[in-house]
Amino acid sequence: MASIKIQCPSCGKKGDFEILDEKIKNVARGLLAVNIAGNTICEHSFIAYVDKNFTIRDYFMADFQLEIPEIVPFEKNKDLKITEKELTELSFIKLNLPVNLMTYVIKSIFLKKKIFL
């Protein structure tokens, strides 16, 4: 594992970054693009291009950055029970709908689309 000195192209703050030797050996084009995340060296995020001699060739800072929203897991209601009456109502719906219309209903349910019957 090699340690290289990296300097932020925006604020000039310097820091050390470690790269595995096998990552450099597996590079096809000659330069390894290393994404330096924010708060690693400084608050900026940028890309450093490293050659096979572990020399920094260039830096790249993006003009803007897309933030991915945090996904909150949905909690299912375990107490939800379907009564016998509701099951018979579902059976009547299945009996009265043709097969091709039923496939559209099921597809709409899976895609969370509104259904109008």
Residue-level pLDDT, tens digit, the chain, 117 residues: 888 899 999 899 999 988 888 888 888 778 888 899 888 889 988 999 998 888 899 999 988 877 777 887 777 666 667 677 776 676 666 677 777 888 888 888 888 888 776
Calpha distance 59→35 (Å, rounded):
10
Residue in 103, 102, 84 with CA at minimum distance from that of residue 93: 102
Predicted pLDDT at 54: 86
**Which residue, 2, 42, 45, 46, is CA-closest to 22?**
2
| Per-residue pLDDT, 107 | 87
- Integer Rg of the chain from CA: 28
Length of the chain: 117
Q: Residue 37 gets which letter from DSSP?
A: -
